[in-house]
Each structure stands twice: as structure tokens, then as C-alpha cells.
Amino acid sequence: MNKYILLTLCILTSFAASAEEKVLFDFENYDLGARIEMRDFYSETTASVAEVVQDPANPNNKVLHVSNKSWNTLIELSLGQMTAEEATSSYQYLAFDLYRPAQDGAYKMFVARIDADTIYADAGFYDQGATGQWVGKSYRMKSITSQGNTLYMGYQSIDAEFYIDNVRLVSVDYGYNYFDPEQTLRHHAEKCGKNIGAAVPVWRINVNDDNQDMTQTIYSNFNMVVAENEMKIDALQPNRGEFTFYNGDCLVNLAERHNMSVRGHTLVWHSQVPSWISSDGKKNDRGYSRAELLRIMKDHITTVVTHYKGRVHEWDVVNECLDDNQTTIRTNPAGYDLRPSVWYTGIGEEFIDSAFVYAHQADPEAKLYINEYGVEFQGKAKTQAYYNLVRRLKNSGIPIDGVGLQCHFTVGEIDSTKLDTNIKRYASLNLNCIVTELDISIPNLNAPNAYEQQAAAYRTIANICMNYDHCTSLLVWGITDNMSWRGGDPLLFNSQLRAKPAFFAIRDVLEHRAQFLGVEPNMPIDEQQSTHVDVYNLYGQLVVKNLHRSHIRQLPAGIYIIDRKKVMIR
């Protein structure tokens, strides 16, 4: 197929040294009407047919058409000189193009095997994407050590009729179309009612141009954004009383064009403070009295939050106010030590309380967060200090809605149990606890499986976040590795904007969870839906009749059938 010749050429030119993609079958060398073997794994004979035909969408192209499908029947193709071991160790993905006719059935599980070994079984079998058009597919293969070379692939279901073309082995996932709405992180996150977000380096990309690959990747994959630097104090108020909202506004406009939420980051912080407030963010060395510094803080918060009222949906009101050491945590009755910032030094601890009150006054609808690093794992002094501070704020009636865990991690340091128990306890304070700045650096990029281990770490975090209703959002701190503020390739996309294993790990988690939950985002009550539902158990017995939709989440933990969908309540 022409477009793939072109793609292959591009790949050859840009990656001449490495084999990034190998086209196994494009069916152009076959005669029209030629048959390919079909093999039924549980029966001697099969009525299924795989025949080379004209592409239903392009008469100049030949493709394989599979019809009259019986269960467990797969297309049989030879890998030629290549063994299973070579195929699965040199390449990571099996990619192909799929065309499903409009009347195609719903239940589909794609499987691929080499001889007796399964290299992929698709868990996302309810939804194989659009019908009546070609859809790019790619599957991550399990690596196999065998000398076998017969590749079996296809849909393991009875009602599948499909066309397939351009079967390829791919070492970087070129088969994945980042902009196909059904393959994005956002698509799956929204099905789970979660926010998946990213920090956007607004100054280095053109967020005003929806056609740029980078911009498109952002709004396709994320439903929440935060400015990496452009809404910090120095960016918004470089001189006293002089506000510069342009870059922040561009991001908010992007979000509004694509129906994304915006986190505002950050109103009060000791870092990236303009020099008219403090020479270093720590010392109160510009001669301000306590009252005047409080006035400066209030003016900043009020002006910024008012400017973005209704457009920025939540704010990091206070960022990184805790001391790293927490030396007096056991003796100090408050149970936390604050960092010596200009705000703490000049105003006193109440700067935190006041900041939340000012923000709330400026936009009572905005959700207000505190945000911190190094407070993710239960058992650490700083983690406990954070909890103590947050509990103190909540108990004093301060308008705080949630707690941000920055989560700047390194592969190898993540303790899932400690993270899980820490996130969990904020639910009992009636607060959200979200992941605000996730990035996971790889300590040694040359280590075997470095990127797979990173993906596993991302998977762990995503799974924990998915387990809790009060963990509503997971944001990564940047888009591509080369633009990250940290080394060690910590993000989801590489420098060429290709999705990394970490991307697929997060997408897997979201996809599986969405499929299992089978719920619409936040179980909305809209005009189309009845406000009340009948709830059945898996035996088909009625559990509750006429339950108000808003009470679904209060059902005892278990799996129910609601609106003909499987719903898991935790």
C-alpha cells in the first residue's frame, strides 16, 4: 500500500541504522482470489475463508478478507527465515490495519501466536474501533524464545468478518495513531470518570495552532492541563501591579476549544518569585512589613483568580510550604515544620490559611489544593507532616478541597503500599488526593528493559489512582522527554513525540478499568437517561428497584448490572 511505502521510506531515511519496522504482509504479491490457510485450533476442519481481495476503500490495493468465521480460527502465515525469538526480541509490536464492515459483530478478541505461544491476546475485546473504515492497530508482543516461525493471527470469535492489511513488526509504535479518538488516554480516562492531565510548556510550543502535532497530542490525549511555568508568580506579575496573562490565556483558550479542565499552578510559592518580592524567594529582604506582604499576597491571588474565574477550575494555592527535614515533628505540637520562605518569614504560618481564604473569596467555585513533593510514601516524616498540616487546615474550616502529591519519582523507589495507604487516608478528611506532577526518571538508560521498568512504575501509580474515587486526577509533568525539567527520560512520549511503553502502560490501566466499570463519566444524569435505575446482580436478580442514579456509588462493593452494563462498585 502506497502510504506505507512512503512511511517505510521516511523511516529508512530517519533511522537508517536501525530496523524500526518490517512489513510482513501487504498482500500485493498475491493474485486476487488467492487463499491463505486458516487454522482452527480445536477442530480438524474450518469453513472460514481468508482470501486476497480488492480493498473495500481503494480498488488499487490488495488486502486479505476473512469471512465465514468460526471460533478459534486464525490466519496462518509464515515468518519465513525469522524465528519467534528474532521477531519478538527485535520488535515490540505487531501492527496491522483493520477494516470492519458495518454489520460486524460486537465481541472481538484479537489474538496472535507463533506456533503454540500466544504473543498477544487483546483484552479490549468489546471495542475494536470504527467500522466501515481502516483503523491502525498495534499490539505489544510478549517475547518468546522459540525457533518457531508460523504466525497465527485474527479474531477469536464467531461473528467476525474483517479485512486486514499491512501486517508489520514495529519496534517503535508507529502503528499507533495518537489522534484516533478511540486510542487516546483521554478516551479511556473519560470512560472511568477520571482526569488525565499534563503540564504544558506553553512558551516552547504553539498552543494556538490546533494542527501542530504537539498541540494535537495534548488535546487528544489529555482532558486536563496545567501550565508548566506560565501561571507562576514571576510569570504573571513580573513587576508590582503589572500582570501578564497572555501565555496563561493561550493555554486556557486551548483548553476551552477542546473541553479540557485547567489546573492553576501556583498562587503562593517560594520559588519563581519575582525579585520585587524577594531576592531569593526565602528572605523577606525588600523591606515589607507583615501587613504589606499580606497585601501583596492578597492582591496577587485576587487579581489572578478573578482573571481566570470560571475558566481555571482548580488552583494549587500553596506550593511546597513544608521543610524537607521535619526535625521537630515529634516535639512540635503542630506536627510539621514550615520551610523558611518569604511568605512564612514575613507573614507567619497564617499565610497558608489566608491564601486559601483569599482564593476562595475570589472564586468560590474553584477547587483549592495544597501541593507538595516528597510526601508520597507513608512512614516518612515529611509525609506525616503534610498530613498533619492538611488535617489542621481542614479542621480549622479553611476552604481546602484537595491535596496534591507531586510524585517526581525515580524507577526503583516506588513503594506501592506506602503510596496507597497515604492516598487512602485523605479520603477520611473528606479531601481529594491527586497526583499532580508525575514523572519517573530512569537511573540508567542503558540498563536492559529500562523503559519497560519505567512503564511498570507508571502502571503501579495509575492503578493506585484508579482505585480511589477521591483520586480524581493524574497529571504528568510534561509531554516529551527532551522537554522535561528532569533527566532520565521521565515522561510518556520520547523526543520524537512517539508514545513510549509508559504511555501504553497508563492506557492499559485506563482501558481495562473503563471496560470493567462500563460506566459513563461520573455516571451523569442527563436528559436521555432516566434518573432512576434498576440494579441487578450477576445472577440477574433484582437487587434494588428504582435507585436514584446518584446513589449508585453507595451500593455495597460488588459487581452489578445497571443499564445493561457491568458496573463495579468498590
We find the least distance from the C-beta atom of residue 135 to ligand XIL, in angstroms, to be: 36
Of the pair 228, 376, the CB lying nearest ligand XIL is at 228
Cell of 380: 516518612
Return the ∠ at Cα 227 (arms to 221 and 232), rounded to 5°. 165
281: left (phi over 0), alpha (psi -120 to 50) or beta: left
Contact yes or no for 267/315 (Cβ under 8 A): yes
Integer Cα distance of 387 and 372 in angstroms:
11
When asked if residue 247 is in the footprint of ligand XIL (CB under 6 A), the reply is: no
161 annotated active-site:
no
The secondary structure of residue 143, as a DSSP letter, is P
Say how many C-beta atoms besides its own lie within 10 A of residue 106's C-beta. 11
Distance of CA 487 to the CA centre of its chain: 20
Catalytic residue among 21, 230, 372, 437: 437
76 annotated active-site:
no
Of the pair 154, 404, the CB lying nearest ligand XIL is at 404
We find the least distance from the C-beta atom of residue 269 to ligand XIL, in angstroms, to be: 7
Cell of 305: 483568580
Residues 423-462 contacting ligand XIL, CB under 6 A: 437
Task: Assign 291 to helix, strand or coil.
Answer: helix
Nearest residue to ligand XIL, using CB? Answer: 485
We find the least distance from the C-beta atom of residue 339 to ligand XIL, in angstroms, to be: 13
Cell of 334: 503542630
When asked if residue 319 is in the footprint of ligand XIL (CB under 6 A), the reply is: yes
Integer Cα distance of 534 and 176 in angstroms:
39
Catalytic residue among 190, 228, 314, 320: 320
Query: What is the pattern of x (binds ligand XIL, CB under 6 A) and - over residues 480-509?
Result: -----x------------------------
Exposed, middle or buried: residue 544 (CB in 10 Å: 0-12, 13-18, 19+)? middle
We find the least distance from the C-beta atom of residue 260 to ligand XIL, in angstroms, to be: 19
Of the pair 21, 372, the CB lying nearest ligand XIL is at 372
We find the least distance from the C-beta atom of residue 293 to ligand XIL, in angstroms, to be: 21
The secondary structure of residue 374, as a DSSP letter, is S
What's the distance, Cα to Cα, between the start and end of the chain in Å?
48
Of the pair 270, 513, the CB lying nearest ligand XIL is at 270
Q: Residue from 228, 230, 314, 353 that binds ligand XIL (CB under 6 A)?
A: 228
Integer Cα distance of 62 and 401 in angstroms:
58
Question: Cell 483568580 identifies what position?
Answer: 305
Residues 395-424 contacting ligand XIL, CB under 6 A: 406
We find the least distance from the C-beta atom of residue 437 to ligand XIL, in angstroms, to be: 6
How many residues bind to ligand XIL according to rule CB under 6 A?
Answer: 7
Of the pair 120, 485, the CB lying nearest ligand XIL is at 485
When asked if residue 149 is in the footprint of ligand XIL (CB under 6 A), the reply is: no
Alpha helices in 128-277 (DSSP H): 185-191, 213-221, 233-236, 246-257
Which residues are near ligand XIL by CB under 6 A? 228-229, 319, 373, 406, 437, 485
State the catalytic residues: 320, 437
